[in-house]
C-alpha cells in the first residue's frame, strides 16, 4: 500500500459522496412505488422505523470499520479479525462483497443507460429529430448496449480521477443539482389536476398492511439497498473520512438525507402517476396494482410528459437528468469497491484499475443485455435479495462479535471524545450485536 490514500477534504464533500451513493434509482423509483403498493403511509412508517433501527446501525458498522482500517473491505475486515479462521472468513466476505457490488453495477448500468437514452429523447425532439427520438425510446439490444457503454465510460472517468478530484468533486456538484431539480419538479406537478389523489395514495395509511410479512421484507430490502449496505461501498467511503470527524453524527446525516430524498421522491412520483391517470394514461397493471417495474419510468411517466405538450419536453428533460444524476453518484460508489481493492492490494495504478474493472463490468452488463430474459431478473434477485442481506449480517458479526469492543470505542472517540457517555454508545453496541443480526436473519428467511 505504498501509494498515498485519497481522503475527502470536507464534511460536505463526504456527505454529498455518501448520500450520493445512497440516493439512487432505489429512492426515486423503488421507494415511491413500494410505498404505493404496500399500504401507503403504513409502508412509509415501517420503512422509517427499519431505516433508523436497522439500516443506520449497519451503516455505522461499515463506516467505523472503514475509517479504522483505512483500507478496502478485504484488508479492513482482516485487520479487525484476531484468529486465523476469522481472517479467512474476512477475506471471503470481502471478496463476495466485491463480486456482489460488481454484479449490482452490471444491472444498474443497464437501467441507468435507459435513463440517459430518455434524457436525449426530448433533446432530439426539440431539434426536430423525431426518428432519432423514437429510436432512443424503443427498447432494443443495440440501444441498450450503446447506453450501457456510455454510462460506464462516465463512471470510469470519475473514478479514474480519484477520491478528491473525482468522487468528491462530482458528488458535490451533482447532489445539490439533484435536490433542486427534484423540488422544482414537485412544485410543478403539484399544480396539476389529480396530484392530490396521488398524495392521498402516498400518505394515507392502510394499517391493515403493517403486519403483512411481505411489507416487512420489502421495507427491509429497500432500506438495505438504499443505504448501499453490505458490499463494502460505505466501508470504503468511510475509509476516506478524516479522523477528526464525528462518525455517529455524519452517519446519521447520511441516513437522514437518504430517507429525506426518498420521501421527497414519493411526493413527485405518486402525484405524477395520478396526474397521468387523469390524462388517460394507464397506471394500473393487469392485477390491479400500480405499475411499479420498469414500466413506470419508461412508459407511464414518458406517456404523461407526452400529454403535456411543449412543457412536457422540459419536464422530461428535468426528470431524466434527475435520474441520470442519481444513477451516476451511485454507480461511482459501486465501482470504487473493486478499484480500491486492486489499487491497494494488487498494486495497480488507479486509472488503469478503473478502466480494467469498468471494462469487466461492462462486458458482464452487455452479456445481460443480450440475454435479458431471464438474466436481468436473476442478477437482481441473487445480488439484492440473497447476497446483500447475508453480507449485511456478516458485517454485524464482524463488528460486534469478532472485533474488540474497546477498539470500536476508540475509533468512535476520534472526532467524538465524549462518545462513551453519549446516546449512540448506549444503544448501538447492543443493537449491532443482537437486534440487527437476528432481524436480518428473520426477514431473510421470510
* Positive or negative torsion for Cα 307, 272, 182, 377: negative
35 binds ligand TRP, rule: CB under 6 A: no
Q: Which residues contact 229 (CB under 8 A, 6 or more apart)?
A: 55, 58, 59, 62, 388, 392, 395
347 sits in the region (left: phi over 0; alpha: psi -120 to 50; else beta) called left
Name which position in 81, 106, 228, 246 contacts ligand TRP (CB under 6 A).
228
Stretch that binds ligand TRP, among 19-27, 130-138, 180-188, 309-317 (CB under 6 A): 19-27
Q: What is the DSSP letter of 72?
A: -
Integer Cα distance of 361 and 339 in angstroms: 12
Indicate which single residue of 296, 334, 335, 399 sits in contact with ligand TRP (rule: CB under 6 A): 334
Q: Does 246 bind ligand TRP (CB under 6 A)?
A: no
Helix (H, G, I), strand (E, B) or coil at 368: helix
Nearer to ligand TRP, 122 or 221 (CB): 221
Q: Is 222 in the site for ligand TRP (CB under 6 A)?
A: no
Between 121 and 258, whose beta carbon lies closer to ligand TRP? 258
Q: Does 24 bind ligand TRP (CB under 6 A)?
A: yes
Distance of closest approach, residue 427 Cβ to ligand TRP, in angstroms: 24
Question: In whole angstroms, how close is the CB of 393 to ligand TRP at the nearest point?
Answer: 15
Residue 436 binding ligand TRP, by CB under 6 A: no
Does 26 participate in binding ligand TRP (rule CB under 6 A)? Answer: yes
Nearer to ligand TRP, 246 or 384 (CB): 384
Cβ-based nearer residue to ligand TRP, 107 or 424: 107
Nearer of residues 15 and 412 to ligand TRP, judged by Cβ:
15
Contact between 158 and ligand TRP (CB under 6 A)? no
Q: Can you tell me which of 76, 231, 397, 432 binds ligand TRP, judged by CB under 6 A?
A: 231
3-state secondary structure of 67: helix
Does the footprint of ligand TRP cover residue 333 (CB under 6 A)? yes
Task: Give the number of residues in contact with ligand TRP, rule: CB under 6 A.
Answer: 16
Describe the crossing of helices 372-381 and 350-370 by its angle, rounded to 10 degrees.
130
Nearby residues of 100 by Cβ (< 8 Å), 6 or more positions away? 230, 231, 383, 387, 388, 391
Distance, in Å, from the CA atom of 403 to the CA atom of 235, rounded to the nearest integer, reads 15
Binding to ligand TRP in span 74-113, by CB under 6 A:
101, 104
> Could you tell me if residue 338 is left (phi over 0), alpha (psi between -120 and 50 degrees) or otherwise beta?
alpha
The residue behind cell 414519493 is 266
Closest to ligand TRP by CB, 158 vs 412, is 158
Question: Segment near ligand TRP (CB under 6 A), from 25-33, 67-75, 399-407, 429-437?
Answer: 25-33
Q: Which is nearer to ligand TRP, 215 or 254 (CB)?
A: 254
- Shorter beta-carbon distance to ligand TRP: residue 18 or 192: 18
**122: closest CA among 324, 396, 391?**
324
233 binds ligand TRP (CB under 6 A): yes
Q: Does 56 bind ligand TRP (CB under 6 A)?
A: no
155 binds ligand TRP (CB under 6 A): no
In the bound complex, what is the minimum distance in angstroms from residue 228's beta carbon to ligand TRP?
A: 3
Nearest approach in angstroms of CB 437 to ligand TRP is 19
Whole-number Å distance between alpha carbons of 265 and 147: 25
Does the footprint of ligand TRP cover residue 21 (CB under 6 A)?
yes
Question: Quick one: which segment of 41-49, 209-217, 228-236, 399-407 binds ligand TRP (CB under 6 A)?
Answer: 228-236
Strand, coil or helix: 117: helix
CB of residue 25 to ligand TRP, shortest distance in Å: 5
Burial class from Cβ neighbours inside 10 Å (0-12, 13-18, 19+) for residue 157 reads middle
Contact flag: residue 389 with ligand TRP (CB under 6 A)? no
Residues 314-339 as b or e (16 or more Cβ within 10 Å = b): ebbbbbbbbbbbbbbbbbbbbbbbbb
Cβ count near 88 (within 10 Å): 12
324 interacts with ligand TRP by CB under 6 A? no
- Using CB under 6 A as the binding rule, whether residue 267 contacts ligand TRP is answered as no
DSSP string, 275-328: HHHHTT---B-TTSSBP-SHHIIIIIHHHHHHTTTHHHHHHHHHHHHHHHHHHH
Contacting residues toward ligand TRP, per CB under 6 A:
21-22, 24-27, 101, 104, 225-226, 228, 231, 233, 330, 333-334
Amino acid at each position: 500500500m505504498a501509494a498515498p490514500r485519497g481522503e475527502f477534504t470536507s464534511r460536505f464533500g463526504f456527505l454529498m459522496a455518501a448520500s450520493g451513493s445512497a440516493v439512487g434509482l432505489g429512492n426515486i423509483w423503488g421507494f415511491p412505488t413500494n410505498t404505493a403498493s404496500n399500504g401507503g403511509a403504513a409502508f412509509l412508517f415501517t420503512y422509517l422505523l427499519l431505516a433508523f433501527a436497522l439500516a443506520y446501525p449497519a451503516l455505522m458498522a461499515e463506516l467505523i470499520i472503514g475509517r479504522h482500517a483505512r483500507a478496502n473491505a478485504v484488508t479492513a475486515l482482516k485487520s479487525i479479525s484476531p484468529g486465523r479462521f476469522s481472517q479467512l472468513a474476512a477475506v471471503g466476505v470481502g471478496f463476495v462483497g466485491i463480486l456482489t457490488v460488481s454484479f449490482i453495477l452490471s444491472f444498474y448500468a443497464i437501467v441507468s443507460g435507459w435513463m440517459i437514452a430518455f434524457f436525449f429523447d426530448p433533446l432530439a425532439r426539440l431539434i426536430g429529430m423525431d426518428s432519432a427520438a423514437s429510436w432512443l425510446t424503443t427498447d432494443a439490444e443495440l440501444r441498450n448496449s450503446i447506453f450501457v457503454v456510455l454510462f460506464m465510460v462516465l463512471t470510469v472517468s470519475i473514478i479514474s480521477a480519484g477520491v478528491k478530484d473525482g468522487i468528491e468533486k462530482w458528488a458535490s456538484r451533482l447532489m445539490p443539482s439533484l435536490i433542486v431539480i427534484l423540488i422544482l419538479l414537485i412544485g410543478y406537478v403539484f399544480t396539476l389536476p389529480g396530484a392530490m389523489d396521488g398524495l392521498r395514495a402516498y400518505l394515507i395509511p392502510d394499517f391493515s398492511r403493517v403486519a403483512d410479512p411481505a411489507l416487512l421484507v420489502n421495507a427491509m430490502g429497500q432500506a438495505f439497498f438504499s443505504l448501499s449496505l453490505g458490499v463494502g461501498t460505505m466501508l470504503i467511503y468511510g475509509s476516506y473520512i478524516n479522523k477528526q470527524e464525528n462518525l455517529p453524527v455524519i452517519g446519521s446525516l447520511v441516513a437522514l438525507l437518504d430517507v429525506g430524498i426518498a420521501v421527497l421522491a414519493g411526493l413527485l412520483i405518486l402525484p405524477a402517476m395520478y396526474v397521468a391517470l387523469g390524462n388517460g394514461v394507464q397506471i394500473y397493471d393487469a392485477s390491479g396494482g400500480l405499475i411499479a417495474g420498469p414500466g413506470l419510468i419508461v412508459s407511464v411517466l414518458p406517456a404523461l410528459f407526452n400529454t403535456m405538450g411543449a412543457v412536457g419536453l422540459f419536464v422530461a428533460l428535468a426528470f431524466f437528468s434527475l435520474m441520470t444524476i442519481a444513477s451516476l453518484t451511485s454507480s461511482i460508489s459501486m465501482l470504487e469497491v473493486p478499484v480500491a481493492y486492486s489499487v491497494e492490494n494488487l498494486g495497480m495504478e488507479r486509472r488503469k484499475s478503473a478502466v480494467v474493472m469498468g471494462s469487466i463490468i461492462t462486458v458482464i452488463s452487455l452479456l445481460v443485455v443480450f440475454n435479458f430474459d431471464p438474466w436481468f431478473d436473476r442478477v437482481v434477485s441473487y445480488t439484492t435479495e440473497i447476497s446483500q442481506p447475508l453480507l449485511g449480517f456478516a458485517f454485524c458479526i464482524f463488528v460486534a462479535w469478532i472485533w474488540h469492543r474497546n477498539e470500536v470505542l476508540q475509533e468512535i472517540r476520534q472526532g467524538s471524545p465524549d462518545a462513551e457517555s453519549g446516546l449512540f454508545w448506549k444503544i448501538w453496541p447492543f443493537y449491532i450485536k443482537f437486534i440487527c443480526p437476528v432481524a436480518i436473519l428473520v426477514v431473510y428467511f421470510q
